[in-house]
A and B are shown apart, each in its own frame.
Chain A
Amino acid sequence: MIPNLVEFWEMIWPNLGRGLIVTLKLSAGALLIGLLIGLPTSLLRVYGTRGMRAAATAFVDIIRGTPQLVQLFFIYYGLADAGLNAILVNLGFPNGFLVLEPMVAAYVALGVNSGAYQAEYFRGAIQAVGSGQLTAARALGMTRLQAILHIVLPQALRLAVAPWSNEAAYMVKYTSVVSLIAVSDLFGEARRIMSRHYNQMLMLPLVGLVYLAIVLLITWLMQHVEKRVAIPGVEVEAQRA
């Protein structure tokens, strides 16, 4: 039994390892895309004109209100629609412009989805900083942009570390949906092995443990980040209040 297991491990390890790397790349990429979408969206939601606020709110509500799997399928299968492609070709776009590679569709779908959630985390953090400090900065003669950049954001980003680390941990697990559009991520590789060897009772706990290990590692890392960026005296003040 034991030698068998070792042999089996040696057989599946290269595939699982490749899948793990895909999962990590996808998680990191989607989190980054989400950050690039989420932070500006949150700023528009708090500081934008009426129209900007409405647009940002609509984006966040639509993404958060629909299943991630529907979004993924929409990006991968929906955008590849033949009729849509014909229209785009007529408009001068190259043929198959929105027919995305599975990996590209995965980055887009997970990134956009994360963007909406991150926008909410950042919005909460910005609002937690409060308007008093912004007013004080304006009273010194800072422009609105200076006040946001130098006063509000440095504090909001610190406050966002805790929810952001949750988002990172969720993301690693959420990426497993991409095996449904034929991306060979960790779960995709595990499914392939299972379909060949019928060993779900081994593979599912094993792959679950790998996800768990990554999540614990991220949580641990982010706790260190949180401590590092903490503002002295702020916890003390929060306890007093």
Chain B
Amino acid sequence: MTDQTPEAPIVRIRDLHKRYGDLDVLRGVSLDVTRGEVVVIIGPSGTGKSTLLRCINQLTRPDSGRVWLDGVEVTAPECNLNEVRAEVGMVFQDFNLFNHLTAIKNVAIGPIRVLHMDRAQALELARYELERVGLAGKADAYPGQLSGGQKQRVAIARALAMKPKVMLFDEPTSALDPELIGEVLEVMKKLAQEHMTMLVVTHEMGFAREVANRIVFMEGGNIVEEGPPAQLFYAAQHPRTAEFLGKIADLYGDEQGSSG
């Protein structure tokens, strides 16, 4: 049950600051993520959760603060960001599949263009990754021919094909019809069981409770409280945490009783 290991953290974030104009989006966020850990980030919208994830693969450059990935400082000016991003999988709320490519080519294009993998080998890898997310039968379908849940699973396969050290999920089920959320969460749960290191921004409290090793509650650009699910759900130290979790339960329904 412990998330303490002697190993160095695979993601290390120190005192991250980011502002857009007058808006202080991140106000000194620090966070360590251990290899194989599943960290769920929760918090009200506009709190800087997406910005925090995007600072890890440097899609957003922070104003100050440092980020290390597997010991390499990605905020260092000489760091090759394309190499860093190749090692970090990212899954977006809106899927962002490449609409002109079939599912299998969506998954294969990263290994082909970025890892310079041989085409046949990349397609074989892509087929394997599609199988992992349960979409072997949809290899030749275009994104426009897939349901939202299928699209998101292709997007997960696309990220997995790069053999990432960390997977970042930014509200992966928020754009889905309720009946399609389960299939995506199932895939994510499976990844967690395979010890993939994951940072997940989500409002799916059932998933957080069941899968997270640690829950991080963010508000106003700060981490207000973090700890194992049991602590945050039942013994929150900070009144804001309890208040937010109560609101979420009202909004999305308390899924504690659901089979999940």
Chain A 122-160 interface residues, beta-carbon cutoff 8 Å to B: 132-133, 135-143, 146, 150-151, 154-155, 158
A161 to B155, CA, bound (A): 28
Instruction: Tell me what chain A mostly uses at the interface: helix, strand, loop, or mixed.
Output: helix
Q: Is A232 an interface residue (CB 8 A)?
A: yes
A232 and B59 contacting across the interface, CB-CB below 8 Å: no
Q: Is A10 an interface residue (CB 8 A)?
A: no
Nearest A residue to B158 by beta-carbon distance? A140
Residues A140 and B100 in contact in the complex (CB < 8 Å), given A150-B113, A233-B144, A236-B144: no
Stretch at the interface among B33-41, B86-94, B190-198, B249-257: B86-94
A198 to B145, CA, bound (A): 61
Residues on A with beta carbons closer than 8 Å to the beta carbon of B59: 135, 138-139
A237 and B114 contacting across the interface, CB-CB below 8 Å: no
Interface bracket on A: 20 to 34
B240 to A: closest C-beta gap in Å = 31
B142 and A232 contacting across the interface, CB-CB below 8 Å: yes
B142 and A133 contacting across the interface, CB-CB below 8 Å: no
B143 and A233 contacting across the interface, CB-CB below 8 Å: yes
Q: Is A231 an interface residue (CB 8 A)?
A: yes
B162 to A: closest C-beta gap in Å = 6
Q: Which of A137, A154, A237 contacts B144 (CB 8 A)?
A: A237
Residues A136 and B98 in contact in the complex (CB < 8 Å), given A231-B144, A233-B145: yes
A231 to B145, CA, bound (A): 10
Residues A232 and B57 in contact in the complex (CB < 8 Å), given A135-B96, A140-B85: no
Q: Is A234 an interface residue (CB 8 A)?
A: yes
Chain B 148-163 interface residues, beta-carbon cutoff 8 Å to A: 155, 158-159, 162
Residues on A with beta carbons closer than 8 Å to the beta carbon of B92: 132, 135-136
A146 to B98, CA, bound (A): 13
A158 to B155, CA, bound (A): 23
Residues on B with beta carbons closer than 8 Å to the beta carbon of A234: 99, 142, 144
Residues on B with beta carbons closer than 8 Å to the beta carbon of A138: 59, 85
Residues on B with beta carbons closer than 8 Å to the beta carbon of A236: 144-145
Binding site for B on A (CB under 8 A): 132-133, 135-143, 146, 150-151, 154-155, 158, 231-237
